[in-house]
Amino acid sequence: MIRSEKLIKKYGQGELELTVLKSIDFEIKDGDFIAIIGPSGAGKSTLLYQLSLLDLPTSGEIYFNGVATSTLNEAEKTAIRLNELGYVFQDYALLPELRAAENVALPMLMQGMSRDEAIRRAEVSLDKIGILDKKNNVPSQLSGGQQQRVSIARAIAHNPHILFADEPTANLDSGNARLVIDTFKKLNEEGQTIVMVTHEIEYANKAKRVITLKDGIIVSDHKPVS
Amino acid sequence: MKKLILLKTEFQNAIRVGWFLAFRQIKRSGKGTTTLIIFIMVLTFLNLVVVSGLLVGLISGSFKQFRESYSGDVIVTTLPGRDYIDHSPELISFLNNHPKVTAISPRYGISATVLASLTTLPKKNERANAIGARIVGIDPELEENVTDFSKFIIAGEPLNTEESGGILIGANLIKKYSSFADANIPGLDLLNDVDVGQKVRLTYATKSGNKVIKEFFVKGIVQSKVDQISTRMFILDNELKDLLPVNQSQYQEIAIKTDPLFASRLVKEIENYIGLDSARVQTSEEAIPSFLRDVEATFSILGNALSSIALVVAAITVFIVVFINAVTKRKFIGIMKGIGISPMAIQFSYILQAIFYGIVGSAIGLFLTFGVMRPFFDAHPINFPFSDGILVATAAGAGIRVVILLTVTFFAGYLPAKFIVQKNTLDSILGR
């Protein structure tokens, strides 16, 4: 589904140049639940941004369904992000002026769905995550855990091929964090492909594959320790 | 073709999402901020319409007074070098029978000397307390119908056909009342110690060189911002005609009141009736002195210049407001781009918000202009030395300014939004 080849990402120039990803070869397959772990500065989030087409690699290639993404223009990448990918950000990233259901419905409206249908499907998604009763609340009326669940509902409502999550539990207490990870696990069991960055081994071990990054290099790619 | 359809769909979706976002952002943004932005837009609109409107209104006020106080809607005057309007009696008869003419006031004027101190002689090296002035004969009732003449009386009483021997003196001819009294202008003679009830002696030299002398008592003082009132003296028409050896049935001015929209047609009808070589026939607007037109043109240019500055200020204001709004929401703009919302939809939401502020600001501005300020200035004109200033604001002029303001608002909303949307998506999300 997504494959990277000799993926390199550098920041800065000259003496300040820093190579964060060093020739990463990596593949995400349908139905995967991948946890990317590693120490701070290992390049976990950077790898996620490259794979999810939010950033451009310095060199190397990312193939999405066999298409080299370096050949796509910004509009085409935006269309892929809209139709094929879902995102869960560390700080929830909900739009403050929109109610929970409206936040979830937004990508579907952009896809061309009618407002009523988008809201209906948003409610289905919120129900699936167990937070339908908060559909009319704006983000400021929700707790961190509730906001993150709304964020997950938004990421899955339009049935993306891959769900990317960047440290989704970082800002949550352990109870809410476990709830989020259990939700991911359940979604994956239903067929949702998930790529998650985390620094918590406990949560990483809920995934099907655990990839460990260190100094921009994949040092291990294995099944979780039970 | 397929690409075109795709583009059209994308455009439609972008507009839908832009509208969805804009509506909610306006609805759920802070009321204080929204009120402040709308307040700025209202001030901007008023700056565009009212400042230039008041400038032009100072002159338009004098045009209005010229029409209401002197000329009527149409005025017939003698041709240059002539003593009177040819065929005056026939013309008056024509006008009296014209269905569209509501009132006329024929006037005849002579140049005469008016001596104010009748009992004392001037000392050595002292000029007589006299002044040369235009003496105009009027029929008080007819004049009242056209110009509401009695409202100009600031002391004494108006003329009365039942009472002969009275004279009304323009305020600018009397030292006590003239606004030029302190100016010490060389050659400007004003009458000293003249007031209501006193006698003055009028001396008129006929064409044959004979002098006609008659005494009048000052019945009243008239004052207006129209010179034709404040610098003239007025006596009863039949008394003036008694002073004349000739031209007793002729007139020099005929002020005509009619439907203002009919004025131009009436001018043509009068010209056809008496011929072009009999008199000068003009609408009130045509009869306005050319220097006033020049002042109007200058004020209009000045007003437009000020409006242009106001427009630039408005554009910068909206730009800053939208820019700050977009900068503070840069992270959310990044997130929207990240989850696949097209840049066009995001830009459209900001444009819509800017236009919303422009429309609401303009609507309130229109209400204040036409519902509050214009009626206020009509009722309480600005006391300008040569006119009563009003607020000139037309629906067409205001409409053009609304369109200009909305156009400027559109670009002032679009440019900062585009600037922020163009930033790297990830940098926006991560706030770097």
On whether the CB atoms of residues A26 and A219 are closer than 8 A, the answer is no
> What does the alpha-carbon distance between residue B129 and residue B274 come to, in Å, rounded to a whole number?
43
Which residues of B93-236 form beta strands (DSSP E)? 101-115, 130-138, 153-156, 166-170, 199-205, 211-222, 232-236
On whether the CB atoms of residues B154 and B222 are closer than 8 A, the answer is yes
Tokens of B91: 């013309």
For residue A46, what is the nearest residue in chain B, using CA coordinates?
Answer: B426
| 3-class DSSP assignment, residue B139 | coil
> What does the alpha-carbon distance between residue B137 and residue A165 come to, in Å, rounded to a whole number?
98
Instruction: Write out chain B residues lying below 8 Å of A159, CB-based.
Output: none
Q: Do B339 and A54 touch (CB under 8 A)?
A: no
> What is the count of residue pairs from A and B with beta carbons less than 8 Å apart?
77
CA distance A79 to chain B (A): 6
Predicted-assembly ipTM surpassing the 0.85 threshold = yes
For B179-199, write each residue's pLDDT tens digit: 776 766 666 678 887 888 889
CA distance B313 to chain A (A): 29
Q: How confident is the model at residue B181, as a pLDDT?
A: 67
Torsion sign across C-alpha atoms A187, A190, A193, A195: positive
DSSP string, A95-149: -TTS-HHHHHHHHHHHTT--HHHHHHHHHHHHHHHT-GGGTT--GGGS-HHHHHH
Residues of B with CB under 8 A from a CB of A: 9, 12-14, 16-17, 20-21, 24-25, 27-29, 331-332, 335-343, 345, 424-426, 429
Query: How many C-beta neighbours within 10 Å does residue A26 have?
Result: 21
Mean pLDDT rounded to a whole number for chain A: 91
Q: How confident is the model at residue B315, as a pLDDT?
A: 78
Q: Do A110 and B341 touch (CB under 8 A)?
A: yes
Q: Do A106 and B345 touch (CB under 8 A)?
A: no
* Average pLDDT of span A1-11: 91
Instruction: Write out chain A residues lying below 8 Å of B337, CB-based.
Output: 78
The partner residues of A218 in beta bridges, in order of sequence, read: A213
Q: Do B336 and A106 touch (CB under 8 A)?
A: yes
Q: Do B24 and A112 touch (CB under 8 A)?
A: no
Residue A122 has pLDDT above 80, yes or no: yes
Q: Do B426 and A49 touch (CB under 8 A)?
A: yes
At a CB cut-off of 8 Å and minimum separation 6, what does B256 contact? Answer: B72, B73, B74, B75, B76, B95, B101, B103, B104, B146, B266
CA distance B407 to chain A (A): 27
Give me the residue from A82, A93, A138 closest to B28, CB to CB.
A138
Q: Do A110 and B28 touch (CB under 8 A)?
A: no
Q: Do A54 and B425 touch (CB under 8 A)?
A: yes
| 3-class DSSP assignment, residue A20 | strand
Give me the residue from B17, B335, B340 closest to A78, CB to CB.
B340
Residue A7 has pLDDT above 90, yes or no: yes
Instruction: Write out chain A residues lying below 8 Å of B27, CB-based.
Output: 97
On whether the CB atoms of residues B214 and B230 are closer than 8 A, the answer is no
CA distance B317 to chain A (A): 24
Whether A109 contacts chain B with CB within 8 A: yes
Give me the residue from B9, B340, B424 closest to A81, CB to CB.
B340
Q: Do B339 and A107 touch (CB under 8 A)?
A: yes
> What does the alpha-carbon distance between residue B226 and residue B62 come to, in Å, rounded to a whole number?
8
Residue A60 vs residues A44, A160, B32: alpha-carbon distances, Å: 17, 25, 50
On whether the CB atoms of residues B281 and B104 are closer than 8 A, the answer is no
Q: How confident is the model at residue B185, as a pLDDT?
A: 67
Tokens of B18: 């832009």
| 3-class DSSP assignment, residue A222 | strand
Instruction: Write out chain A residues lying below 8 Å of B338, CB-based.
Output: 54, 81, 87, 93
For A77-100, write each residue's pLDDT tens digit: 999 999 999 999 888 889 998 999
At a CB cut-off of 8 Å and minimum separation 6, what does B379 contact? Answer: none
Judged on CB neighbours under 10 Å (0-12, 13-18, 19+), B304 is: middle
Q: Do B20 and A87 touch (CB under 8 A)?
A: no
The partner residues of A85 in beta bridges, in order of sequence, read: A162
> What does the alpha-carbon distance between residue A51 and residue A43 come to, in Å, rounded to a whole number?
12
The label of the residue with tokens 């193939």 reads: A63
Whether A96 contacts chain B with CB within 8 A: yes
The partner residues of B280 in beta bridges, in order of sequence, read: B77
For A172-190, write each residue's pLDDT tens digit: 888 888 888 998 899 899 9
| 3-class DSSP assignment, residue A68 | strand
Q: Do B20 and A115 touch (CB under 8 A)?
A: yes
Q: Which residue has the higher pLDDT, B127 or A134?
A: A134
Q: How confident is the model at residue B187, as a pLDDT?
A: 65
Q: How confident is the model at residue A177, as a pLDDT?
A: 86
On whether the CB atoms of residues B13 and B20 are closer than 8 A, the answer is no
> What does the alpha-carbon distance between residue B83 and residue B247 come to, in Å, rounded to a whole number?
9
Interior angle at CA A14, CA B338 and CA A57, nearest 5 = 30
Residue A212 has pLDDT above 90, yes or no: yes
Instruction: Give the residue ranges of chain B where pLDDT is below 70.
Output: 1-2, 181, 183-188
pTM of the shown model: 0.73
> What does the alpha-carbon distance between residue B5 and residue B375 come to, in Å, rounded to a whole number?
53
Choose among A220, A213, A151: nearest CA to A21: A213
Whether A79 contacts chain B with CB within 8 A: yes
For residue B6, what is the nearest residue in chain A, using CA coordinates?
Answer: A112
On whether the CB atoms of residues A33 and A93 are closer than 8 A, the answer is no
For residue B246, the Cα-to-chain-centroid distance in whole angstroms is: 41
Instruction: Write out chain A residues lying below 8 Å of B33, CB-based.
Output: none
Q: Do A107 and B27 touch (CB under 8 A)?
A: no
For residue B424, what is the nearest residue in chain A, using CA coordinates?
Answer: A55
Tokens of B378: 């009509």
Given pLDDT bands bounded at 50, 70 and 90, which one contains residue A161? very high
At a CB cut-off of 8 Å and minimum separation 6, what does B234 contact? Answer: B135, B136, B137, B138, B159, B167, B168, B222
